[in-house]
Each structure stands twice: as C-alpha cells, then as structure tokens.
Structure 1
Amino acid sequence: MKSQLAAIIFALSAAFPAAADVLQIKKDAPKQYVVKKGDTLWDISGIYLDEPWLWPELWQMNPQIDNPHLIYPGDALALVYDADGNPRLVINKGYRKLSPQGRITPKGTNAITTLPLEMIKPYLSFEQAINSDDIQDKPYILGANENTKMQTLGHILYAKGDLKVHQAYAIYHQGKPYTDPQTGEVLANRASYVGMARAFRKGDESNGVPSSLRVESAKREIRQGDFLLPAMEGQMLPAYFTMHRPKQPMSGSIIASPRDVREFSTMDVVVLNLGANQNVEVGHILDLERQSPTVIDGPRGPRYPEDSSKYEKLLSTAGELFGAEQDENSTTWTMPKEKVGELIVFKVYDKVSYALITENQHPIRVGDSVVIH
C-alpha cells in the first residue's frame, strides 16, 4: 500500500564548502539508524550532530544517492568514515526489514521532509507579508448576494477589479502591520488567508458593474474590503531547503509572531525584520541572541537596576544620556549579548521573513536579536 506520508523531495546542498575540521559526531550517536514514518531530516541530523544544519556534509561522498538525495521510512542509515577520517552517512543496502510482502510499490514521492512541514505549512500556504501600497492595487470584495457575516460554499461575492473569468482567487484579510522596533517603519502588512473563490462573471468598473465570484471554500469570515490574489500566488510549497549560514554578517530582531504571542520555543514560527533587501535567503541559519541585564555596582554592592536605589539609578541614567561622571563608588556594567538559540528562514519577503526556531536554551521573546557575526 502507498505510504500516507506527505510527499516532498528535499535537496541537500552541493554548494556547502568543505569543512576545515572533521565533523564532530555526538558520542552517543548510533552506528545505524532506521528511518521511521514521521521522521524529518532535522530530527535525524540532530541524532548525529550538535549543529543539525551541517547534515549535508555527511553526504558529500555518498555514491549511492543520486541527485536529488532521497531517504525513505524503512531505510537504514549507516555511519562510516572515509580515508581521511571524515564521518559519512550511507544507506545500508544489506539491511532488510522483515514485514509482510504484498506488491512492490515504487518509492516515488515518499521521501521524508527536510523540515516538519506540518509546522510551517500554514505559514507557507495561508500567510503573506505584503506592502500596503501593493494591497491597495489589488481587487477587493465589495459585498455578497447575502448579507451574512460568513460566506459559505456556493455564495456569490462581488468585487471591484478586473478579474479573469474561470480563474480561482485566494481571499486575504489585511492584518496588523509589521513595524521595525528601532525606526518605526512599516515593513509589510500581514495578510491572512480567508477563503477561495472562482470568477464567473466579468465586471465593468467604469459603469459600476462588479465582477462576480462563487465561494469554493471559506477558512474564516469573508469581509467587505478583503483583497484578492490569483490562487497560487505566494502559496507554493518549497521542494528544496538548502540549509546554510549567510556569507556576510547580519543583524536584526524578532518583531512579531503570527500567533500573536510574545514568548516562543522550539518549532515555533516568528517574523524577522530582515528580508531580501538584507540578502536573507530561504534556508539561512541564524543565531538568536539576548542582551544580558545591566548591573550597577554601587556602595551596596552589585545590583540589577530594578534593585538599585533611586540615587544609583539617577547617576546611571545621567551617565548614559549626558556622559556625566558617575559617583566614584558606583559603576554601571553593560553586559554582553549571549546566544540563546538558532532558527532557519523558510519564507522571505523584501523587508521581513518567516523563520522556524530549531533550538533554544531559554524562552525566545519578541525583541531578541537575530545575528550572524
């Protein structure tokens, strides 16, 4: 029987530079691992490496796997070492899983995913970050043939804009803007998918005649003013995730969460104030850093600002704002930033991007830094 796994092909990058040092395999890494249903490339790489995104280097000299590289549930991965002592993962073709035999089914598209698609698919399929000027130019909903809040299957919508008859259109609701915390600049507007409709009647805007669409699906309430995009625009699932570090330094921060929460953990999705304009790419691995709290070392000893006296706080603030001399018995210590996790970028726009947290030592928060030094 055909596997019910999500069908996707992942490609491992051939563009990775050769490692200057031998890859460090975890001490408790198994010599053989049998791929299970539900495994992801990230899960398996974490079994062997402390830095899972370095997985492609394990496959550099694997003659058994053609491009694109595919592994499937039931495959046995063997850990071997080449002549130079570099670790490599290969498929153990001598391994045979004993199970009832029915008919031979080609593996086809049953390869395991690079990242857990069930986590990121809603943001790949149902989330957009669009410039407000671009939204204003899109066709939008004027009303419907029934004055109800929830338009359902078969309802008719009327829209302003030149629509192509028989073409399907995705309906989006414009949400809150994503703004830069430092400059206040609006980087993009969140757009949430609400439904799908198909145009069946062409309008005539100059004579006040709207275009007509029939609702084919509704995920949530369709409102007047919701805008339209061709059905597949911005909704394609990526077949390839080439995980790699950026070649140049980057610095940004987490500015929002699509779930509107302020703390996150592993496998949560966040929004960054970095995008294609800052040379961010799909597959980039970035570090998460957090500023350690300032300490005021005064007459009562070292204390955090919230525990310091008003006098100590005043001297500290004056020194920071005006360069005023501090009390000789009071010193303000500015602590360094420390790494608190990693994330991988999976969707990029001009000024923002969506990323999946893949590792964290502490709860991640809005405002935490995203960097590559």
Structure 2
Amino acid sequence: MLKPVLHFLALCAFCFAVTATAAADVLQVREDAPERYVVKKGDTLWDISAIYLSQPWRWPQLWQMNPQIENPHLIFPGDVLRLIYDADGRPMLVRDDRVRRLSPQSRVTDTRPDAITTVPLAMIRPFLTHDKLLSAEELAGKPYILGASSNVKNATEGHTLYVRGELEPGKGYAIYRKGRPYIDPETGDNLGFAMTLVATSRAFRAGNDERNEPASLHILDVKREIRQGDLILPAIDGELLPAYFQMARPDSALNGLIIDTTSKLREFSKWDIVIINRGANDQLKPGHMLDILRPSPTVVDSRNGQPVYLEDSSRYQRLASNFGHEQIKMPRERVGHLMVFKVTERASFAIVTDTYRPVRVGDHIVSP
C-alpha cells in the first residue's frame, strides 16, 4: 500500500515542479507598464524593456514573437510600440503601424544611423574596436618601435618608424602602448595589461631579425605621440561592431569582482565601463548579464545589546571579537546589473546597465 502512495506523492511533486518552472519562465510585465510607448532619440532596447520588464535582459522574449520587427534593434525614434498579449497570455511589443505606416521589409534592411541599439554603442565602441587587455604571454615577442627617421622622443605624422621584428609589406598595423597591469584581488594574479591605441600605420619594409635589419612603417593616423618601445599589433580592418547583443544569464553560477573602471572615479553609475576578473575561462560570453552585489558592513556583537560596525569598533572590540564577541557578516545586497561585451581569457569588459546605488570597484558580480 505504501508504494502506490509514494509514487502518487512523487508524481505530484514532479507536476508541481514542472508547473512552477513554467510559471517562473513566463515574462512578468511591470504593473506600471504603459500600453503605448513612443520611441525617443537616445533610447536603447534596454531602456525600453526596463519600462515593461523587471528583468530587462529578457527583452528578446518580449520581441521574438513580433512578426513586424524581424530585427528588433531596427526601430527608430518616433516609432509607436504597443503592448499586446497572444492567445496564451504571453506579452509582446509590436510596432503600431496605424500610427506610422512603414514597410516591415524596408525596416529590416534600413541602415540609418539612428536605429535603436541594445546599449549605447558610443560608450563601448573604443573598447570593441581599439582598446585591449592582453596577457604577458600574448605580448611576449611582439614587434616594437626602435625609433624614427628623426632623433625625436615622440614621433608623429611625417616620420618613418623602424621596428624590431618582421612585418608584412602593405599590411596595416596598430601601434599600442602597454599600460598598467590588472591584478586579481582574490588571487594576486596578473590578468593582463591595459593596451591603449597610439596610432595606425602601414608596413613598407619587411625587416630581417637574423640580419639585424629593422622593418619600416608609414604612419597613417596618430591618436597620441608614438614612443620607443611601443608595441606593434596587426590592425583589424572592419572589426565587427554589433548593435545587437543577445542578453542572457551564464549557463553556470559565477562569482567575481569589479576590479577597475575606465572612468577612474570612486563611484560610478549607468553606462560606465568596468573590468571584471572573470573571462572566457569562466565560460563568460558577450551579452551575459550579471548582478552587482555589495556586502553590507560587518557588525561586532557582544550580545549585550550594543552591536557596533566593525569599521567603527575600537581596537579592544576588534581584539575581543576573537574572544567571545561575534563578527557577523551581513548579506550582500543588489546594487545594479551589468552586461559583458568584450571577453578575454581571464578578464572582461562590461557596461553597467542600471544601478540602485552608485557602483564601486570591489563590488561583487554574480550569476545565480
């Protein structure tokens, strides 16, 4: 008699789990979401989706059933969007062509520069196309600037550059300056060096290391003065600059830290660029969404009704915490979200997509 009961209970538990999972997967539209929205200049898909969803990174699910908008990032200022529901009660955004009649086919192929993008491309463009983070291993043996055709410390346009290394005549090369290293605060490991684009050039002599003959470059464009020792890397012509990122959570749980910001400010906010100490080795990909958490201040509690923050405690209280007083680590609270947009092996660039409080270096990044 017991076995049938157990089987019945197991079946009920399975059905409940399936139902709960399906319910959790249904898009939850915000209670204050408008039925109609007019796209404005400067909007991003993130901004628009945040008006309708508590989890804006799930915006592809809000747009994917829309027969009018095959490429959802190709909507434009002035377009009117309506929130509707299908026969199964699933929400989706559609363009209201009763207000603005435009051919869906022409919109799919439209290349106007004001098309709405996932995130502001102007903010991340330099990091997608120019600035890099390279490891010591990747930099080892790279060609470097020996000097110029004139005895100058900082070469500019009009100079010929001489390079230690062998180059391919006619090929374009980028000139980079190695910056400071990014150090993982958890392990002390060097995650890579910040690489800043200095200039672009084209090789016209190959060079020969065995005969100690330098390669030669013509300068094409200078962003800052070129110095001896600057490194030479192949230029990537027409590097892809995606307007559309497929936002998603990573497939596995992840914990890490924000280790730097390009703004160099103590606190930063929405659309600032940060560097995190997780990368391709941790299965991170462009478009992955992560929570930003901050640990609440630790409290020393002597159980006498007078707890005190650890940072405000006296030397005696800190010593006493090892002899009966308790140091209580408070929970971490969410302060924002970020989207990874450029990944290296051990670190990544990410853009802060929203904040509840100012974000700081040292804040935790997690994927539940």
CA distance in 2 between partners of 1:269 and 1:187 (Å): 17
Using the alignment, how far apart are the partners of 1:310 and 1:113 within structure 2? 53
- Alpha-carbon separation, structure 2, partners of 1:135 and 1:166: 23
Partner amino acid, structure 1, of 2:332: K
Alpha-carbon distance in 2 for matches of 1:83, 1:105: 27
Superposed CA RMSD: 2.4
Per the TM alignment, residue 127 of structure 1 is displaced from its structure 2 partner at its CA by 1.1
TM alignment of 1:79-118, pairs within 5 A: 79-96=83-100, 108-110=110-112, 111-118=115-122
Q: Give 1:49's aligned residue.
A: 53
Q: Which TM-score applies when normalising by structure 1? A: 0.85
Q: Letter of the aligned partner of 1:309 in structure 2?
A: S
8 Å Cα contact 1:143-1:158 kept in structure 2: yes
Secondary structure of 1:46's partner?
helix
**Alpha-carbon distance in structure 1 between the residues aligned to 2:158 and 2:23:** 58
Residue 361 of structure 2 is aligned to residue 366 of structure 1: yes
Q: Report the equivalent of 2:214.
A: 210
**Contact 1:128–1:234, Cα closer than 8 Å, also in 2:** no
The answer to whether residue 294 in structure 2 is matched with residue 294 in structure 1 is no
Q: Distance in 2 between matches of 1:371 and 1:207?
A: 53
Q: Residues 61 and 178 (structure 1 numbering): CA distance in 2 closer, same or farther, change over 3 Å?
A: same
SS in 2 for 1:301: coil
What residue is the counterpart of 2:158 in the other structure?
A: 154
- Correspondent of 2:315 among 307, 310, 316: 310
Displacement of 1:65 in angstroms is 2.8
Q: Which residue of 1 aligns with 2:351?
A: 356
Q: Which residue of 1 aligns with 2:80?
A: 76
RCO comparison, higher one (Cα < 8 Å, 6+): 1
Q: CA deviation at 1:51?
A: 2.0
Which whole-Å CA distance do the structure 2 matches of 1:336 and 1:223 have between them? 49
Contact 2:153–2:228, Cα closer than 8 Å, also in 1? no
CA contact (8 A) 1:41 1:112 kept: yes
Are residues 311 and 66 of structure 1, via their aligned partners in 2, closer, same or farther at CA, if it must alter by over 3 Å? closer
For 2:337, the equivalent position in structure 1 comes to 342
Q: 1:105 to 1:350 in 2, by over 3 A?
A: closer
Q: Residue type matched to 2:163 in 1? A: A
TM-score, structure 2 normalization: 0.86
Hey, what's the Cα distance between the residues in 2 that align with 1:238 and 1:96? 27
Per the TM alignment, residue 240 of structure 1 is displaced from its structure 2 partner at its CA by: 3.6
Give the Cα–Cα distance (whole angstroms) in 2 for the partners of residues 296 and 234 of structure 1: 57
Give the Å deviation of 1:203: 1.4
Cα shift at 1:66: 2.9
| Alignment gaps of 5+ in structure 2 | 1-20
Name the structure 1 match of 2:133: 129
- For residue 250 of structure 2, the aligned residue among 238, 246, 252 is 246
* Matched residue count: 342
Q: CA distance change for structure 1 residues 230 and 20 in 2, over 3 Å: closer, same or farther? A: same
Written as runs of structure 1 = structure 2, the 5 A alignment for 1:173-188 is 173-188=177-192
| Per-residue deviation, 1:171 | 0.7
| Cα deviation 1:186-205 (Å, max 9, x = unaligned) | 11111111110111122122
Aligned residue number for residue 202 of structure 2? 198
8 Å Cα contact 1:150/1:220 also seen in 2: no
Shift of 1:234: 10
Percentage of pairs with the same residue: 52
Q: Distance in 2 between matches of 1:28 and 1:148?
A: 63
Is contact 1:272-1:355 (8 Å) kept?
A: yes
Q: In structure 1, what is the Cα distance between the partners aligned to 2:134 and 2:354?
A: 28
- Cα 1:363–1:69 change in 2 (3 A) is closer
Does structure 1 conserve the Cα–Cα contact (< 8 Å) formed by 2:29 and 2:53? yes
* C-alpha distance in structure 2 between counterparts of 1:105 and 1:23, whole Å: 27
The 1-side partners of 2:335 and 2:238 are apart by 31
- The amino acid of 2:118's aligned partner reads T
**Paired amino acid for 1:187:** L
Q: Describe the SS at the equivalent of 1:335.
A: coil
Query: Is the contact made by 1:289 and 1:370 (CA closer than 8 Å) also made in structure 2?
Result: yes
How far apart, CA to CA, are the structure 2 residues paired with 1:168 and 1:301?
Answer: 68
Tell me the CA shift for residue 366 of structure 1: 1.3
Determine which of 204, 207, 231 is the counterpart of 1:227.
231
Note if contact 2:71-2:108 (Cα within 8 Å) is conserved in structure 1.
no
Structure 1 residues 106 and 66 mapped into 2: Cα distance closer, same or farther (>3 Å)?
closer
User: CA distance change for structure 1 residues 244 and 221 in 2, over 3 Å: closer, same or farther?
Assistant: same
**For 1:28 and 1:289, how far apart are their aligned partners in 2?**
26
SS at match of 2:46: helix
User: Counterpart of 1:350 in 2: which secondary structure?
Assistant: coil
